């Protein structure tokens, strides 16, 4: 299957700092990448759709100024959590769409804001 990486896998930071998470498609080009958030024992909730070369499309209720998304190339999308607070602590996972059907997911990033 296709390989998608995320970095870092773990982040612990102080409240008020910004955290950048990278999502890379390693062996294919992805015109579209997706960012999800998953709270413990819950399902994945889509935060935004990231299209290469254009602005991201955010889901209702997701603050675009707080969760900055940049899709600068066909293999890289970044999510920056600005001025993180404890309520932003979660599991963030990206996916990249390779073909018409399937999204492949990265391994996820666990964020803990103290």
Question: CB of 16: closest distance to another protein in angstroms?
Answer: 26
Residues that bind another protein (CB under 8 A): 1, 32, 34, 38, 42-46, 49, 57, 91, 93, 95, 97, 101-108, 110
- CA 55/CA 8 separation, integer angstroms: 23
Question: CB of 19: closest distance to another protein in angstroms?
Answer: 17
Question: CB of 62: closest distance to another protein in angstroms?
Answer: 13
Concatenated DSSP letters of 40-82 = TTS--EEEEEEETTSPPEEPTT--TTTEEEEEEETTEEEEEE-
Nearer to another protein, 31 or 82 (CB): 31
Structure tokens at 4: 């998608």
Nearer to another protein, 4 or 113 (CB): 4
């Amino acid at each position: 299957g296709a390989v998608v990486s995320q970095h870092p896998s773990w982040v612990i930071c102080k409240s008020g700092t910004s955290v950048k998470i990278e999502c890379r498609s390693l062996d294919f080009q992805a015109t579209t990448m997706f960012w999800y958030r998953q709270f413990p024992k819950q399902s994945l909730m889509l935060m935004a759709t990231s299209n290469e070369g254009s602005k991201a499309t955010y889901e209702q209720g997701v603050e675009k100024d707080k969760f900055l998304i940049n899709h600068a190339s066909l293999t890289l999308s970044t999510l920056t959590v600005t001025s993180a607070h404890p309520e932003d602590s979660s599991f963030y996972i990206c996916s990249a769409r390779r073909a018409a059907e399937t999204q492949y997911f990265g391994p996820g990033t666990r964020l803990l804001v103290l």
